[in-house]
């Protein structure tokens, strides 16, 4: 889930029990009109993809839709940014309800990775294509000879960011499942450092989402790589 500010916005003032802690005055939230967008299974369940409703906070939107129990793992985005359930809404906001991408797994491993395993995790009878990416360790980098790589990750957060990446892909493409596995620790020359698999009804979405997954992973996931050379070493920031 995305990080959320403890104060929930509101100009830096924490709201407790409907009051501004700093002033003690009661603050009433008013419902505003927002556009709700649904995707994938939620869209099929509801029978529509876009509708206007009235709500005061993000967490009020699901109840306003009248679609029964809220699915576990549901993410919200307001105006294309992930949002916490207690975020206040403004008139005209677009609220996207992003269902979790089914299947797959998002993990870090200090053991060798298996492409077959991630492919099996995304197999789906609805899929017409499975696109994969395998990242391997090359012997030459920045004009130097690499002996091996060392990967370090912020465990717990790294997997959650991978899940967020998959959820975002599910919003932009028609997908069945996404799986991402990444190595931590020492990775030798020629060994696999990351494997990604994406299944979709159509190859165009599978290929595009797989490419976007690795590009976004390198930008967002808290992973750091040390290149160990003959006669030296260097940390290469975040990503693979």
Tens-digit pLDDT profile for residues 161-217: 999 999 999 989 999 999 999 999 999 999 999 999 999 999 999 999 999 999 999
The Cα–Cα gap between 208 and 142 comes to: 28
The Cα–Cα gap between 48 and 169 comes to: 20
When pLDDT is cut at 50, 70 and 90, the band that residue 222 belongs to is: confident
Report the residue count for the chain: 240
Overall average pLDDT of the 213-235 stretch: 91
Which residue did the predictor score with more confidence, 11 or 73? 73
170-189 exposure pattern, b = at least 16 Cβ within 10 A, e = fewer: bbebebbbbbbbbbbeebee
Query: Which tokens go with 158?
Result: 């790294």
- Give the pLDDT confidence score for residue 232 in this predicted structure: 92
When pLDDT is cut at 50, 70 and 90, the band that residue 3 belongs to is: very low
Nearest to 194 by CA among 135, 118, 106: 135
DSSP state of 170: H
Contact (Cβ atoms closer than 8 angstroms) between residue 159 and residue 108: yes
Overall average pLDDT of the 25-52 stretch: 84
Percent of residues, the chain, with pLDDT higher than 70? 84
- Structural domains for the chain: 10-18+30-98 (3.10.20.30), 106-230 (3.90.1170.40)
Question: How far lies 78's CA from each of 75, 96, 212, 237, in Å?
Answer: 10, 6, 21, 30
User: Would you say residue 234 has pLDDT above 50?
Assistant: yes
Which residue did the predictor score with more confidence, 103 or 80? 80
When pLDDT is cut at 50, 70 and 90, the band that residue 239 belongs to is: very low
- What mean pLDDT, rounded, does the chain reach? 84
When pLDDT is cut at 50, 70 and 90, the band that residue 100 belongs to is: low
Rg (CA), the chain: 21
When pLDDT is cut at 50, 70 and 90, the band that residue 115 belongs to is: very high
Contact (Cβ atoms closer than 8 angstroms) between residue 130 and residue 197: yes
- Identify the helix (H) or strand (E) that includes residue 156: none
- Give the pLDDT confidence score for residue 155 in this predicted structure: 86
The Cα–Cα gap between 188 and 212 comes to: 26
The Cα–Cα gap between 240 and 236 comes to: 9
> Within a 13 Å sphere around the CA of 168, how many CA atoms are in the beta-carbon half?
20
Report the DSSP pairing between strands 177-183 and 106-109. parallel
With residues binned 3-state (H G I as helix, E B as strand, rest as coil), the percentages for the chain, rounded to 5, are: 25, 35, 40
Contact (Cβ atoms closer than 8 angstroms) between residue 93 and residue 87: no
Global pTM reads 0.63
Overall average pLDDT of the 221-238 stretch: 86
- Give the pLDDT confidence score for residue 4 in this predicted structure: 27
């Amino acid at each position: 889930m995305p990080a959320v500010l403890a104060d929930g916005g509101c100009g830096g003032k924490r709201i407790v029990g409907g009051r501004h802690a700093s002033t003690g005055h009661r603050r009433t939230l008013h419902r505003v009109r927002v556009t709700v967008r649904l995707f994938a299974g939620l869209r099929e369940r509801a029978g529509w993809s876009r509708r206007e409703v009235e709500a005061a906070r993000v967490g009020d939107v699901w109840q306003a839709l009248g679609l029964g129990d809220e699915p576990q793992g549901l993410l919200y985005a307001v105006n294309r940014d992930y949002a916490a359930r207690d975020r206040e809404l403004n008139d005209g906001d677009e609220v996207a309800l992003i269902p979790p991408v089914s299947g797959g797994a998002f993990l870090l491993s200090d053991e060798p990775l298996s492409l077959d395993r991630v492919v099996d995790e995304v197999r789906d009878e609805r899929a017409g294509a499975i696109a994969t990416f395998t990242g391997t360790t090359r012997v030459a980098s920045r004009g130097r000879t690499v002996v091996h790589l060392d990967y370090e990750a912020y465990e717990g957060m790294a997997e959650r960011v991978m899940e967020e990446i998959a959820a975002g892909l599910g919003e932009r493409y028609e997908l069945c499942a996404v799986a991402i596995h990444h190595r931590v620790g020492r990775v030798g020359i020629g060994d696999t450092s990351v494997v990604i698999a994406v299944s979709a009804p159509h190859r165009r979405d599978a290929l595009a989402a797989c490419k976007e997954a690795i590009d976004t992973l390198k930008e967002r996931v808290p992973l750091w790589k040390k290149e160990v050379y003959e006669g030296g070493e260097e940390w290469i920031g975040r990503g693979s």
